[in-house]
A and B are shown apart, each in its own frame.
Chain A
Amino acid sequence: MDKRSLVTIAEHSREKLMYLIEMASEFEKHPNRRLLQGKIAATLFFEPSTRTRLSFETAANRLGARVIGFADPKVTSGTKGEILKDTIMMVSNYADIIIMRHYLEGAAKYASEVTDVPILNAGDGANQHPSQTMLDLYTIYQTQGTLENLNIYLVGDLKYGRTVHSLLMAMRHFNPTFHFIAPDELAMPQIYKDYCDEHGIKYFEHQDFNADTIADADILYMTRVQKERFSDLMEYERVKDAYLLKRDMLVKARDNMKILHPLPRVNEIEYSIDDTKYAYYFQQAKNGVYARQALICDALGITLEDVRNDKTIID
């Protein structure tokens, strides 16, 4: 397997995560460069994901790369019966890096085994979404000045939400305390609680969601409670508003507390919160571009040193 591919964030050490955060901060200072001039990035989205694709394509374009690919699986040969391996082998002849999103779990890992072109996993089914985790880590670091010893509250769908699972695993290096706030139907699965136990991660579970429960939060990570996850729609109606973050719930919040959300938001966060100092989800999405610039460069063998000494910055 090509070492430069990124399939899961769990394969990165603490040092590597900090290194990528530093690299992302360089891109935040100067996002527009010609570092990747002459390179071609392919974005293969076998499953539509507009936000992730736009973020990756923006990242590649701001680095001077050209982008090829498809956004809609209906236009690919997959519908004609082409296997993934053939698609990857073909695109490997054209592109210097492949950014792929797939509806099947393990697709990115398999792709990384059939080609020498680095693969960036932009989400493989319910499995992994490492670039989301990277931008979450970057945002947490940016807002708190550290990743160490933070109180992180995960709210909403903790059962199916892969972003919260990946975040939990990536934070294992930094002595966090997690609080899981979810209805029974969407509680954090046992395997992740076992993971916390194995790695000495402290966690607490709550069903209440009010000003007191979240008073000690440094990070309040909201997720969408998705209607399609429920077999009983009455149950959905009952719990959907229980996890709505209201403005008056922030009265006891810490000064440094920031609200994150992987977006899209539906009704998890009251719109009136957007103009408070706690709201940070749009900056978080913006950070996605810097984090992905770092991941693309790292996959192509460009080092932090190269980025710092870069003479191709466009002001």
Chain B
Amino acid sequence: MERKELQVAALKNGTVIDHIPSSKLFQVVSLLHLDRMEAPVTIGYNLKSGKMGNKAIVKVADKFFTDEELNKLAVITPQATLCVIRDYEVVEKKDVLLPDHLVGIVKCNNPKCICNNEPMATKFDVVDKLNRVVKCHYCNHEQKLDK
């Protein structure tokens, strides 16, 4: 029997974020502030995936993110999946869900919006989760995520 090779080392305790499109990896790193993290982080990039062809994976040891932190991921990688690992076992699997409000993540498409002209955090209300439509808290313009 052919020996199955693990592409990324197993994790004892922590969080695995899988099924990230490779092109979105660095956005995920910055959104979760992985670059400023002290815990060991394993990042796999351009891995083969049956489902996606090409994917990235992030494993963060000894770190359990809050839902609020993780749901931000839905803005850039709605297809990402999360596994919480304790003692090498998957104890919880989650999908990322788009939150009701987004602060400081999305840029407003309206050049005449105050938030594009003042040093301030952007704020959006999610008005249609299915179609991923968000509305700027300031100028009321609606836009689709991913555009």
- Name A residues whose Cβ lies closer than 8 Å to a Cβ of B: 83-85, 102-107, 109-110, 124-127, 191
Which residues of B, 107-137, contact A by the 8 Å Cβ criterion?
Answer: 110, 112-115, 117-120, 136-137
Which residues of B, 82-118, contact A by the 8 Å Cβ criterion?
Answer: 110, 112-115, 117-118
Verify B139–A83 contact, CB threshold 8 A: no
Q: Is residue B138 within 8 Å, beta carbon to beta carbon, of the partner chain? A: yes
Verify A127–B118 contact, CB threshold 8 A: no
Contact of B112 among A84, A105, A109 (CB under 8 A): A105
Of chain B, the residue at the smallest CB distance from A111 is: B114
Verify A106–B113 contact, CB threshold 8 A: yes
Verify A85–B120 contact, CB threshold 8 A: yes
The docked-state distance in angstroms from the alpha carbon of A127 to that of B113 is: 9
Verify B110–A105 contact, CB threshold 8 A: yes
Task: Identify 20 new A-B residue pairs, CB closer than 8 A, beyond the known A105-B140, A109-B138, A110-B138.
Answer: A83-B118, A83-B119, A84-B114, A84-B118, A85-B120, A102-B114, A103-B112, A104-B112, A105-B112, A105-B138, A105-B139, A105-B141, A106-B139, A106-B140, A107-B138, A109-B114, A110-B115, A124-B114, A127-B140, A191-B142
The docked-state distance in angstroms from the alpha carbon of A104 to that of B118 is: 10
Give the top 7 A-B pairs by smallest Cβ distance, nearest first.
Answer: A106-B138, A105-B139, A106-B139, A106-B114, A104-B114, A107-B114, A110-B114
The docked-state distance in angstroms from the alpha carbon of A249 to that of B120 is: 52
The docked-state distance in angstroms from the alpha carbon of A175 to that of B77 is: 44
**Of listed B114, B119, B120, B137, residue having the most chain A CB within 10 A:** B114
Q: How large is the interface on B (under 10, 10 to 19, 20 to 34, 35 or more residues)?
A: 10 to 19
The docked-state distance in angstroms from the alpha carbon of A109 to that of B142 is: 17
The docked-state distance in angstroms from the alpha carbon of A105 to that of B137 is: 11
Shortest A91–chain B CB gap in Å is 16
Q: Which residues of B contact A191 (CB under 8 A)?
A: 142
With A110-B138, A127-B140 as given contacts, are A105 and B118 in contact (CB-CB < 8 Å)? no
The docked-state distance in angstroms from the alpha carbon of A85 to that of B117 is: 11
Q: Which residues of B contact A110 (CB under 8 A)?
A: 114-115, 118, 120, 138
Shortest A146–chain B CB gap in Å is 30
With A109-B137, A127-B139 as given contacts, are A104 and B120 in contact (CB-CB < 8 Å)? no
With A104-B112, A106-B113, A126-B112 as given contacts, are A85 and B118 in contact (CB-CB < 8 Å)? yes
Of chain B, the residue at the smallest CB distance from A84 is: B118
List 22 contacting pairs A-B, 8 Å CB cutoff, sorted by A: A84-B118, A85-B118, A103-B112, A104-B113, A105-B110, A105-B112, A105-B113, A105-B138, A105-B139, A106-B114, A106-B137, A106-B138, A106-B140, A107-B114, A109-B114, A109-B138, A110-B114, A110-B115, A110-B118, A110-B120, A124-B114, A191-B142
Q: Which residues of A contact B139 (CB under 8 A)?
A: 105-106, 125, 127
Verify A106–B136 contact, CB threshold 8 A: yes
Q: Which residues of A contact B141 (CB under 8 A)?
A: 105
Shortest A232–chain B CB gap in Å is 23
Verify A105–B119 contact, CB threshold 8 A: no
Of chain B, the residue at the smallest CB distance from A103 is: B112
Q: Which residues of B contact A104 (CB under 8 A)?
A: 112-114, 117
Q: Which residues of A contact B136 (CB under 8 A)?
A: 106
Shortest A172–chain B CB gap in Å is 16
Which residues of B, 30-50, contact A by the 8 Å Cβ criterion?
Answer: none
Of chain B, the residue at the smallest CB distance from A104 is: B114
